[in-house]
């Protein structure tokens, strides 16, 4: 397992993180504890949670695992969780207000059975709460010892920049990470979001690194998904909806390339997709989201996969999302360029 610093912080974390969104839903408690054991035994340290995962059950399951493990195992785990989305029906049971985040953080700590988490992330931008109110809460939580570092999730580039600039201007705790959706099938974050992270020293923690299961090779063009898969149970599910993603020729071109590289390297398709992503600029740790322990074991095998330059070049080319002439294409790039020799 490789280790990297958590963005602009001095905290080291594993280059692969364990996501817990399946805990308490698609993965029962025994399966979740088994995943946590396998992850820790493989040298994994960063465990990513959120209060909304199974309505708090994921944190409770992880908390019971922590309580049952020896101190040397617990002490290696870097805990990250998130707050912002609804945890009730009250008007103040969501958002990034001081009122909601105070309760959300305290509830997360209680469910986890700990007195602090290492990384506390805003799960998304809140258009109603003044940004300074949110950042001052996070700074207070750092000062109180309840969180080690603040982080962001699902922020656009301008939102990220606004948060960093305001925190630095007010001398508040500055966010150290950003969680975006990022994979061979979702690369638009490279236009503005990843450069903003690089500019500000934020580590990228990609979620959905297998495109909701697409990059595992389990879905085909000639048969709609069915059975015990995420899209088999709900073909219209979110960002990975079958009709939406399957309608793009680029999807099938990417899958073909990943399969070819996997066969050449003696690896699985998920391992190739994860190895490509872990090598991208600004990426600190790739968040794995497995239903089963066997899937997790296979994903963890990505640490042993080294892609050749020609592999990376092929995957980069086939997954290129394309861009209009302006502002990200050749026309826009030319207007922003300049050489030291002048015109």
Instruction: Kindly report whether the global pTM for this prediction surpasses the value 0.75.
Output: yes
Domain assignment of residue 66, yes or no: yes
- 61 within 8 A of 94, measured Cβ to Cβ: no
Catalytic site residue from 3, 53, 120, 219:
53
Angle at 310 between CA 308 and CA 316, to 5 degrees: 105
Q: Give the model confidence (pLDDT) of 312-330 as tens digits.
A: 999 999 999 998 889 998 8
Domain assignment of residue 322, yes or no: yes
Question: Does residue 222 surpass a pLDDT of 80?
Answer: no
pLDDT of the residue at 66: 97
Pull the structure tokens for residue 39.
């992850």
Question: Does residue 233 surpass a pLDDT of 70?
Answer: no
Phi-psi region of 194 (alpha: psi -120 to 50; beta: other; left: phi over 0): alpha
Domain assignment of residue 229, yes or no: yes
Domain assignment of residue 343, yes or no: no
| Residue 53 annotated as catalytic | yes
Longest dimension (CA), the chain: 67
Domain assignment of residue 148, yes or no: yes
pLDDT of the residue at 205: 98
Question: Does residue 228 surpass a pLDDT of 80?
Answer: no
- Give the domain extent around 162: 3-336
Domain assignment of residue 274, yes or no: yes
CATH of the domain at 129: 3.20.20.100
Domain assignment of residue 269, yes or no: yes
Q: Give the model confidence (pLDDT) of 281-306 as tens digits.
A: 999 999 999 999 999 999 999 999 99
- Number of structural domains the chain divides into: 1
In eight-state DSSP terms, residue 81 is E
Domain assignment of residue 325, yes or no: yes
Q: Could you count the other beta carbons within 10 Å of the beta carbon of residue 72?
A: 7
Q: Write out the DSSP string of 277-324.
A: HHTSTTB--EEE--SSHHHHHHHHGGGG----HHHHHHHHHHH-----
Q: Give the model confidence (pLDDT) of 236-294 as tens digits.
A: 666 677 777 878 889 999 999 999 999 999 999 999 999 999 999 999 999 999 999 99
Q: Give the model confidence (pLDDT) of 97-145 as tens digits.
A: 999 999 999 999 999 999 999 999 999 999 999 999 999 999 999 999 9
């Amino acid at each position: 397992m490789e280790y990297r610093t958590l963005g602009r912080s001095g905290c080291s974390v594993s280059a692969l993180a364990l996501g817990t969104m399946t805990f308490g839903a698609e993965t029962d408690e025994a399966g979740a504890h088994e995943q946590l054991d396998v992850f820790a035994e493989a040298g994994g340290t960063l465990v990513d949670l959120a209060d909304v995962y199974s309505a708090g059950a994921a944190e409770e399951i992880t908390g019971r695992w922590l309580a049952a493990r020896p101190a040397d195992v617990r002490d290696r785990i870097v805990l990250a969780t998130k707050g912002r989305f609804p945890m009730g029906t009250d008007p103040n049971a969501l958002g990034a207000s001081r009122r909601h985040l105070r309760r959300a953080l305290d509830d997360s700590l209680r469910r986890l059975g700990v007195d602090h988490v290492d990384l506390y992330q805003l799960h998304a931008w809140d258009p109603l709460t003044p940004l300074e109110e949110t950042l001052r809460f996070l700074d207070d939580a750092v000062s109180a010892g309840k969180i080690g570092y603040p982080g962001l999730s699902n922020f656009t580039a301008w939102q990220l920049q606004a948060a960093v600039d305001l925190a630095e201007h007010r001398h508040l705790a500055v966010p150290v990470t950003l969680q975006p959706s990022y994979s061979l099938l979702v690369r638009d974050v490279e236009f503005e979001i990843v450069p903003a992270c690089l500019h500000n020293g934020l580590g990228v923690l990609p979620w959905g690194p297998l495109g909701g299961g697409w990059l595992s090779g389990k879905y085909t063009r000639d048969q709609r998904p069915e059975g015990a898969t995420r899209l088999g149970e709900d073909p219209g599910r979110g960002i990975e909806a079958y009709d939406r993603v399957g309608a793009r020729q680029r999807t099938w071109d990417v899958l073909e390339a990943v399969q070819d590289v996997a066969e050449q390297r003696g690896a699985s398709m998920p391992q190739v997709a994860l190895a490509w992503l872990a090598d991208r600029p600004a990426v600190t740790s790739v968040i794995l989201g497995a239903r089963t322990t066997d899937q997790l074991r296979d994903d963890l095998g990505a640490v042993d996969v080294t892609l050749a330059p020609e592999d990376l070049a092929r995957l980069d080319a086939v997954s290129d999302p394309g861009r209009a002439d302006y502002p990200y294409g050749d026309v826009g790039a030319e207007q922003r360029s300049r050489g030291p020799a002048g015109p």
